[in-house]
A and B are shown apart, each in its own frame.
Chain A
Amino acid sequence: MSLQTAEAQKGRIDVADFSLSYETLDGAVPAVSEAAIYVNPGEFVSIVGPSGCGKSTLLNAVAGFLKPTRGSVTVDGEDVDRPSADRGMVFQQYSLFPWMTVRQNVEFGLKMKGMDRSRRESAARTLLGLAGLLSFENQYPDRLSGGMKQRVGIVRALATGPKVLLLDEPFGALDAQTRVIMQQILTNMWQRLKISVLFVTHDIDEAIFLSDRVYCMTARPGTIKAEIAIPLERPRQQAMMMSSEFLALRRGLMSLIREESLKAMGGEVNDIALQGLDIDMHGQSLASLI
């Protein structure tokens, strides 16, 4: 019992005073500046923001692919200095190994851990069974649909028993119906495994539906603009997306993001320009100009 509680306490992510810039001929270009986020053990946290705001950069730093220019990234108090199986990751692009069958893909992390063949085979089969993919265990990935590939991707990332799961817009390439189902599957797995999740998306509905808390990032250079707790009860149903509580949260986040998206697009794009109100037509109608 005490072991169980100890397990549940693992997976705390701390990102403090995080800045990351890329070196170019014109000097350092900041991608993220002074961001600070945390994820409690077992918590589901999303980062939303306009495209190019550096949310994926932040996630890649937690995964250990990028080193911060300033600040620190720690998981359970340990500095993150390289990728490891403690931090499972699901990518936006399909990242299954095409030369391995579904089961071999899931087994890969266990093989790296040095687990023997029969044990990792049965572990992979159990996990695939949970995800409803057992009948595809011997298929190669190019036979699977996009949704199934991402499901295998999630199962593969969870197979090594990571402390945290990092997801980088994992459902971005899926159609709307498949995406909703995938969100449900992810929630179910998260609740069963009591794992910490850091989820990056530009889809506000997705962030609210899935998360305990949502961070909203500003346009480049990205900083954390707001932190919003999502008090919706669990388990969450799709019908909740129509509730007034959900819609209120959505409106709030929407206006935050919209402001930043307009900024990110730069130039003359503002509400007036979007409606075409300030275009001087010199007293003529558009039809007569054309």
Chain B
Amino acid sequence: MERAVLKLAEPPMSGGEEPVVPAPQAATAAAEASPPMRWFLTRAVRWFALHRQQLRTLLIGAISLALFLLSWHLLTKYRVSFHVRFVNVPSPAQVFESFTRAVDDVKFMQHVLLSCRRILFGFIMAAVVAIPLGLVMGRFRLIRDIVFPVSEVLRPIPAIAWVPMSIMLWPSNEESIVFITFLGSFFPILLNTLHGMAAVDPVLVRASQCLGAREISIFKDVYFPASLPSIFTGLTVGMGVAWVSLIAAEMISGQFGIGYFTWEAYSLVQYADIALGMICIGVLGLGSSAAIRGIGRLVMPWGRA
């Protein structure tokens, strides 16, 4: 009996002698007995083994982007014209050159900053109005019944269709563009907040009541945090629509902004700037979505990130 116990306890210690030692134990034993370099190597090998799938995804992604750039380069270099005409399309190198000029150009940066400011104002106002409205509509049937029909009638109208009306409504061009941006993000945020409120598990509400929660704390401590994941979905979608609306509004009625810059480049026959404007809009959109996701993770540490 004692022998058997001893024998069981032995293998991890003696390492090489026992051929039936499970692999991870052997690796640990080897790592403990070797210099730091060896330790580092085992860690690195394990890290690679654990992250194989992600590394593969990254690698394929990089190759895919490189191929995209290459085909763009080839299409423009040989001025391919096969129904779709690449004759005037700028090459990646031209766009990069245009970019290096633009980063030193105060005017270009002003366009970018102005667009960001409009997004920030419009989007934040939409969030500040739509989230509380959605929460209150979700909690009080009467308010929902009053507001919902109006919102359903206005919702299908694309924000861009509001441009002429907006110019009439607001005294300045700037305000009307911010208003368009506001409208674009307003409805996705409102609807998702409402959806979040409707999906709150009633057992959580009852649990809070059994713990002595009254109306205000049920709202603040149960309904609001329970709706947060949906609210953030709404904010992400809303941010996307806000950019769409902003760029359209700037192209139609702006005098500044990255959308206007892109349109102006076309009018002034500066083709490289068109692509630069487009890429810039893409990067800004990507960045703002990432920012919202980041804030979401900070605000909701309980979610599986």
Contact = CB atoms under 8 A, between A and B. Distances in A.
Interface string A108-130: 11001100000000000000000
Contacts, number: 68
Contacts of A95: 201, 203-204, 206-207
A99 B226 contact: yes
Interface in A82-97: 82-85, 87-89, 91, 93, 95-97
A89 B212 contact: no
Interface string B210-228: 1111100100011001101
Nearest to A96: B207
B302 interface: yes
Contacts of B226: 98-99
B210 A99 contact: no
A93 B205 CA distance: 13
B228 A99 contact: yes
A99 B203 contact: no
B7 interface: no
A4 B208 CA distance: 29
B225 A97 contact: yes
Nearest to B218: A112
B210 A85 contact: yes
A97 B212 CA distance: 15
Contacts of A157: 210-211
> Chain B at the A interface: mostly helix, strand, loop or mixed?
helix
Given A98-B302, A99-B225, A83 B209 contact: yes
Contact of B212 (A63, A91, A109, A142): A109
Contacts of A99: 225-226, 228, 300, 302
Interface in B171-201: 201
Contacts of A98: 226, 302
Given A97-B204, A142-B304, A83 B210 contact: yes
A160 B212 contact: yes
B120 to A, nearest CB: 27
B302 A88 contact: no
B222 to A, nearest CB: 7
Contacts of A141: 302
Interface string A74-87: 00000000111101
Nearest to B299: A99
Contacts of B222: 97
Contacts of B217: 112
Nearest to A83: B209
Contacts of A84: 210, 212
A142 to B, nearest CB: 7
A108 B208 contact: yes
Interface of B: 201, 203-204, 206-214, 217, 221-222, 225-226, 228, 300-302, 304
- The 10 A-B pairs of least Cβ separation, nearest first, read A85-B212, A109-B211, A83-B209, A112-B212, A95-B207, A99-B225, A89-B210, A140-B302, A95-B203, A99-B302
